[in-house]
Amino acid sequence: MISNPPPPTTFYIRNHAMNKTHSLLLLSIALSSTLIACSDEAKYKAMTEKYNAVQTEKTKHKAMSPEEMAAHSGEEMHHDMPMSTETTGIHKIDTDEISRNADDLPPPLNRTQAQLVSVDLYTEELVAEMMPEVTYQYWTYNGKVPGPFIRARAGDQVEIHLNHGKPGATHQGHNEHTSAEHAAAGHSAHSIDLHSVAGSGGGAPLMQVGQGEEKSFSFKAMHPGIYVYHCASPHVPSHIANGMYGMILVEPAEGLAKVDREFYVMQGDFYTTGKYGAKGFQALSKEKLLAEQPDYFLFNGRVNSLSGDRALKAKVGEKIRLFVGVGSHIAANFHIIGIVFDKLYKDGAITNPPLKDVQTTTISPGSAVMIEFTAEVPGKYLLVDHSLSRAIDKGALAELIIEGAEQPELYRQVSR
């Protein structure tokens, strides 16, 4: 029941200016992505060449005046030029950072009444680095992997607005293709299925957005928990494999216990035409996806996304809460080396009594957990998938840095 609801909470939209040059560049990207649909290992070489040709085209466009662009936009683009060593394309990317920071989530709600929560999402297809010198075309919500962390309270009415393409941008340029080609490419539509929704398809039947469309739907957040959302447009596994997932927290009416730090981490499996570390542009390998043989297991979308400057950081004595989910297809075995979880809320069930003193937890695909612990001993801790080749050899590694005074009574070297 919502009486006199306070003003809606509106989640951010990153609304960078998009000029005509950029929109044409996106058209080039879209052209290259049609190939991804029919990708298999045999076509990889052709795709790489085409990608590099597109990058050459992009470079050319960058040097053009708006007038030249206008004149040029009617021309047919030629992507069959031979590959040059100077256009390997590995540094020609749409965004310098595909990964969402682990601390990029809204603060606790701290309110006692239900209200309307309005969430603005858009879909964006971006070429970015998966690791140095390895690029991939991600499909995203709001330009990052994972999508925005949505925060509501039990009893809230939640309105989701989903725009196909970045608002304010000339649409991402499928106009040279037929709709059949779009469908074949698997990105004629995007959508959203939120696991917190009680209703057909989790909203997806109401939320299929095509080029230039925006659709909205509303649901009542009745079940507290931490949930995954994801794209549910055909071919659904491909959309998810490309990065279209995020999490929504429905806080219980009484709120959550106070903590000092909260972090948002999602593990995803990625399937590339080349092996782990193979340089250059990597397309989605549908064959590997169907065989459930990922080349990468990644936290927040890329290798080392949450390390160094972007590591999770806390101080000795602070209470830490992690929301950890699996957006894509393979269950995670989440562990932090050197940390025991004081409390674990399995399977998103945050209103149940937690498990206590847990070392490792499995997280099902399409599920999430809430973990709480106190930072006790300073140092660097590694977040891993404890199926450890995934961490050591395939990317599932992040850092938690705890700063503060040494605690020799808790942890020290001794000699016998």
User: What is the binding site for Cu ion (CB under 5 A)?
Assistant: 190, 231, 233, 239, 244
Residue among 121, 321, 352, 317 nearest 214 (CA): 121
Q: Which is nearer to Cu ion, 233 or 285 (CB)?
A: 233
Tell me the residue number closest to Cu ion, measured at CB. 231
Q: DSSP secondary-structure letter at 159?
A: E
Could you write out the DSSP letters of every residue in 33-98? HHHHHT--GGGHHHHHHHHHHHHHHHHHHHT--HHHHHHHTTSPP---SPP-GGG--TT--S-S--
Query: Closest distance between Cu ion and the C-beta of residue 118, in Å?
Result: 21
Q: Which is nearer to Cu ion, 214 or 318 (CB)?
A: 214
Helix axes 44-62, 20-37, angle to 10 degrees: 180
Query: Closest distance between Cu ion and the C-beta of residue 364, in Å?
Result: 21
Spatial neighbors of 134 by CB under 8 A, at least 6 apart, are 90, 272, 274, 277, 278, 279, 280, 282
End-to-end CA distance of the chain: 66
Q: Is the peptide bond before 354 cis (omega within 30 degrees of 0)?
A: no
Q: Which is nearer to Cu ion, 50 or 239 (CB)?
A: 239
In angstroms, rounded to a whole number, what is the distance separating the alpha carbons of residues 376 and 241? 36
Q: Is the peptide bond before 235 cis (omega within 30 degrees of 0)?
A: yes
Query: Closest distance between Cu ion and the C-beta of residue 238, in Å?
Result: 8
Q: Which is nearer to Cu ion, 54 or 241 (CB)?
A: 241
Query: Closest distance between Cu ion and the C-beta of residue 174, in Å?
Result: 14
Q: Which is nearer to Cu ion, 100 or 239 (CB)?
A: 239
- 203: phi > 0 → left, psi -120 to 50 → alpha, else beta; which? left
Handedness of CA 290, 296, 297, 302 (dihedral sign): negative
Query: Closest distance between Cu ion and the C-beta of residue 141, in Å?
Result: 9
Task: Enter the tokens of residue 138.
Answer: 């991600």
Query: Closest distance between Cu ion and the C-beta of residue 189, in Å?
Result: 7
Q: Which is nearer to Cu ion, 245 or 296 (CB)?
A: 245
Q: Which is nearer to Cu ion, 244 or 375 (CB)?
A: 244
Query: Closest distance between Cu ion and the C-beta of residue 232, in Å?
Result: 8
Distances (CA, A) of 17 to 14, 62, 90: 10, 16, 24
In angstroms, rounded to a whole number, what is the distance separating the alpha carbons of residues 234 and 162? 17
Query: Closest distance between Cu ion and the C-beta of residue 414, in Å?
Result: 55
Query: Closest distance between Cu ion and the C-beta of residue 369, in Å?
Result: 25
Rounded to 5°, the CA angle 98-99-100 comes to 125
Q: Give CA torsion, residues 344, 348, 353, 357, to 10 deg.
A: -10
Half-sphere exposure of 62 (CA within 13 A, CB side): 9
Q: Which is nearer to Cu ion, 245 or 264 (CB)?
A: 245
Q: Which is nearer to Cu ion, 61 or 182 (CB)?
A: 182
